[in-house]
């Protein structure tokens, strides 16, 4: 882009000195023209770099969620394919539901048995109450059947809680997508046994709802960038096209500046200190963003509020980058 500005100034020299003859070709005029050109080009470049910065390390990032089942069991079906887009709630894989169905039937049988014991205890309590009034039964009989009734009710409550848990486990035997997205490197097959251990996640799910573009800027340029500033983005995988967006946030911190609890004094020896900050932006075209591959790289031009006079330079430069995408070496 600097070469382009220099060529434009050279064209201005041709028009002034050769085409229209507005100035004579004297040493003084040529030196003055060159000096003014150097100062002007330097000022333009300074304003451009400071108030309408560009970065060539823009990249599409997405959140990756390890899929950890809530229950353990043998996988009986995997109805999806690698990179297949699935909706939130769509089945990723099915764990054998039979053990959970058997557990539900067993607990339902226990509930029915305890309900029968409760009814018997209530009948005997009523009978003991009548006999007690007729002085044909002792108070201890009434106390016994009252205790039996309370024990049966407690058993029912406990079994119903177990039944709720068993039904929950049956529901969780169908593992579904937490968001819209896709699975990469799908190796899970029917017959595999999955567990609830997070470190043994059977697949990684990529959310297509988090379409974030991360890029880096020097701290001197980032200090003029604000949330909501307009941006233009180009991607190597989509040459010749420019996409609009906006700044979501500026991460004004670097990895080299963090301290962790230890018994050692802070030291920067051996660490490369960077003066760049991360900038997070989002594309306006949500449909294109969802279909853009994770890791797609490109360039970004940011249009700050203070850099309006030099916005045109970044607009031209970013579009040149878009068309140069056709010339990218394999």
Cβ–Cβ < 8 Å for 235, 253:
no
pLDDT at 290: 81
Number of structural domains found in the chain: 3
Containing domain of residue 31, as a range? Answer: 1-51
Mean pLDDT of the chain: 81
Q: What is the pLDDT of residues 140-171, one digit of tens each?
A: 566 676 787 888 889 888 989 999 999 999 99
pLDDT at 277: 83
Q: Are residues 168 and 102 in the same domain?
A: yes
In a domain, 261, yes or no: no
In a domain, 196, yes or no: yes
In a domain, 266, yes or no: no
Cα–Cα dist 84/80, whole Å = 7
This prediction has a pTM of 0.67
Cα–Cα dist 237/208, whole Å = 18
In a domain, 96, yes or no: yes
Closest of 325, 63, 47 to residue 214, by C-alpha:
63
């Amino acid at each position: 882009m600097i070469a382009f500005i220099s060529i434009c100034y050279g064209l201005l020299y041709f028009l002034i000195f050769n085409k229209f003859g507005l100035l004579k070709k004297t040493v003084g005029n040529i030196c003055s023209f060159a000096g003014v050109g150097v100062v002007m080009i330097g000022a333009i470049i300074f304003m451009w770099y400071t108030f309408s910065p560009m970065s060539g390390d823009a990249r599409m990032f997405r959140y990756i969620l390890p899929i950890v089942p809530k229950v353990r069991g043998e996988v009986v079906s995997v109805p999806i394919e690698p990179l297949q887009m699935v909706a939130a709630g769509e089945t990723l894989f099915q764990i054998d539901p039979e053990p959970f169905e058997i557990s539900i039937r067993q607990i339902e049988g226990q509930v029915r048995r305890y309900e029968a014991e409760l009814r018997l205890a209530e009948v005997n309590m009523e009978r003991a109450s009548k006999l007690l009034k007729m002085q044909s039964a002792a108070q201890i009989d009434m106390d016994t059947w009252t205790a039996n009734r309370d024990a049966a009710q407690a058993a029912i409550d406990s079994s119903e809680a177990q039944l709720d848990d068993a039904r929950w486990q049956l529901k969780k035997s169908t593992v579904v997508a937490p968001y819209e997205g896709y699975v990469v490197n799908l190796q899970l097959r029917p017959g595999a046994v999955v567990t609830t251990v997070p470190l043994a996640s059977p697949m990684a799910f990529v959310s297509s709802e988090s379409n974030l573009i991360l890029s880096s800027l020097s701290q001197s340029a980032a200090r003029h960038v604000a949330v909501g500033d307009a941006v233009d983005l180009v991607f190597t995988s989509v040459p010749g096209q420019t996409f609009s967006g906006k700044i979501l946030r500026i991460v004004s911190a670097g990895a080299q500046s963090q301290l962790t609890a230890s018994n050692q004094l802070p030291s920067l020896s051996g660490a490369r200190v960077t003066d760049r900050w991360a900038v997070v932006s989002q594309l306006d075209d949500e449909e294109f963003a969802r279909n853009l591959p994770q890791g797609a790289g490109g360039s970004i031009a940011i249009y700050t509020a203070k850099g309006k006079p030099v916005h045109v330079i970044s607009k031209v430069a970013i579009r040149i980058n878009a068309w140069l995408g056709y010339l990218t070496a394999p």
